[in-house]
Amino acid sequence: MPNCAYALGDGVQDSGAPSRQRDSAGNAGEAMMAWEKNVFSKMVSAVGYDPEKAELYVTWVKSGKTSIYAGVPEGVALDLSNAPSVGQMVNMEIKPYYQHLGYK
């Protein structure tokens, strides 16, 4: 199993499956990702996903900005987070097929 960590809502790192983020009151946050995973890539530092919005979040190494892509199935986001070349998959499987909504 690859060494990977998911960022949970309270800032704790976990190597298990993606988990829903919650605020201190236990409510799902409007602007929070359901899960985010740090990845090993020259181009991408993290991949996140919000299943309620079907939005993929890709954080870029150079700029530190996070791109938002609409209509992405969670399975595609999970595949991206585990891809041997995350940057290549973004360029070949995400950018051509999913709408870029901007940056956050």
Instruction: Give the tokens for residue 104.
Output: 């956050």
The alpha carbon dihedral of 101, 11, 16, 83 has a sign of positive
The number of beta carbons lying within 10 Å of the beta carbon of residue 68 is: 19
Rounded distance, CA 23 to CA 89, Å?
32
pLDDT attached to residue 33: 77
Compute CA 36 distance to the chain's CA centroid, rounded to the nearest angstrom: 5
**pTM above 0.85?**
no
Rounded distance, CA 20 to CA 8, Å?
7
Of the pLDDT bands very low, low, confident and very high (cuts 50, 70, 90), residue 46 is very high
